Structure 1
Amino acid sequence: MAPPASPEHAADLQVFAAEITPHRSLGRRGALILVAGFGIVSAAVSLPFVLMGAWPVVGFFGLDVALLWLALRASFAQARACERIALTYVELTIAKITHRGERREWRMNPLWTRIESETDDEFGMTRLAVRERRMAVDVAQALSPPERAEFADAFGAALATAKAGPRRAVD
């Protein structure tokens, strides 16, 4: 059994922590295979044009391959963005880090914090925000509506635990 939490160490006790990153279904190896396969198919399709003397068509096929590579590269760069949420008994910290590494951070008192959500009958939970007095911060934007609802349930339970405060073990 863990020793009881003393009030002076309550700030150190983490009640909830989450890092939310955008989902990417294609990994780097899969992207490389896709671009290489697309390049091979483009080369095979452009070969008859070269044999007919329409060699500039090869450049356009090459441009397609290059644009696909650039689009996948931009997608992987966007995947570096994340949200970090940490909740202790005395503080809620929400940090949003962009794909460029720019960081915005909000600090809130859990006792004054509540969760707000918007739900659509057809799509599910479309918005989740954390509000403290006049300040509201949207969270879990990278999650799908069902994942957002699941996150809201877990975070709501953790927020209720933080509001109740650390419990001492009864001897």
Structure 2
Amino acid sequence: MSRRSDANMITKTQADPLFAAKLTPHRSLGRRGRVILIGSVAAMAAIPGLVFYSLGAWPIVGFMGLDVAAMWFALRWSTRETKRFEEVTLWPHRLEVRAVSAGGKQQVTAFDPHATRLIVDRDYDEKTTAIYLRDTAGDHELGSFLAASEKASFARVFGTALRKARH
């Protein structure tokens, strides 16, 4: 049976865990890359903007600026989402999943490894689409933000560790 608790209730265990992993979203574009991208988009929008302005169609410049601003906000939101993560820690008699949202809110879910099953969903091409921990309380999805190959790799390694914890 799982038990949900606040972040301040995290188990402090002296023994080393059998398995520990931190799952994070893919971060393909760093701060410098975002600056270069937005600068390039702004420069590319400025060229036709100057042409329209010289032809007397100055309102077009404002709309092109809105496009650049929309791109900046979209990248900022995307970057914020990459701050979320999940930590999966397995001991012989306890399994904890600590999920931290992009805003920093933490939720810890504890499981009994002997009563918990690892469920791996696959599509028709056998690509891993989702990973769940299933117990009497229901399903808990792990790493929803991971790519299919990352989910498959994590499921293999974690499944092996979960089987070892049961024996």
Q: Same fold (TM over 0.5)?
A: yes
Amino acid at match of 2:36: I
Deviation at 1:70, TM superposition (A): 0.6
In the aligned structure 2, how far is the partner of 1:76 from the partner of 1:51? 36
Deviations 1:95-140 (A, max 9, x none): 1111111222110111112111221122511121112223321112
Contact 1:11 1:91 (8 Å CA) reproduced: no
1:56-104 deviation per Cα after TM superposition (whole angstroms, max 9, x unaligned): 1111111111111111001001111111101111210011111111222
One-letter amino acid matched to 1:146: S
In the alignment, what sits opposite 1:107?
A: 110
Q: State how 1:42-57 maps to structure 2 within 5 Å.
A: 42-57=45-60
| Aligned match of 1:7 | none
What does residue 17 of structure 1 align with?
20
Paired residues, what number?
A: 155
- Superposition RMSD in Å: 1.5
Equivalence for 1:133: 136
Is the partner of 1:111 in helix, strand or coil?
coil
Question: Is 1:156 the counterpart of 2:149 in the alignment?
Answer: no
C-alpha distance in structure 2 between counterparts of 1:12 and 1:132, whole Å: 24
Structure 1: where are the runs of 5+ without partners? Answer: 1-9, 165-171
- State the 1:21 CA deviation: 1.2
Residue pairs, 1:73-112, within 5 angstroms: 73-112=76-115
Query: Which amino acid in the other structure matches residue 55 of structure 1?
Result: W
Q: Counterpart of 1:6? A: none
Distance across 2 between alignment mates of 1:154 and 1:11: 23
SS in 1 for 2:109: strand
Q: Equivalent pairs: percent with the same residue?
A: 35
Pick aligned residue for 2:150 from 147, 153, 170: 147
The match for 1:58 among 61, 76, 89 is 61
Q: Give me the whole-angstrom Cα distance separating, in 1, the residues matched to 2:37 and 2:130.
A: 34
Aligned to 1:87, the other structure's residue is in SS state strand
2:66 alignment partner AA: L
**Counterpart of 1:24 in 2: which secondary structure?**
coil
Superposition deviation, residue 146 in structure 1: 2.1
d(CA) in 2 for partners of 1:114, 1:35: 45
Which residue identity is paired with 1:26?
L
> How many Å separate the matches in 2 of 1:40 and 1:145?
36
Structure with the greater alpha carbon radius of gyration: 1
Q: CA deviation at 1:11?
A: 6.3
Alignment partner of 1:70 is 2:73: yes
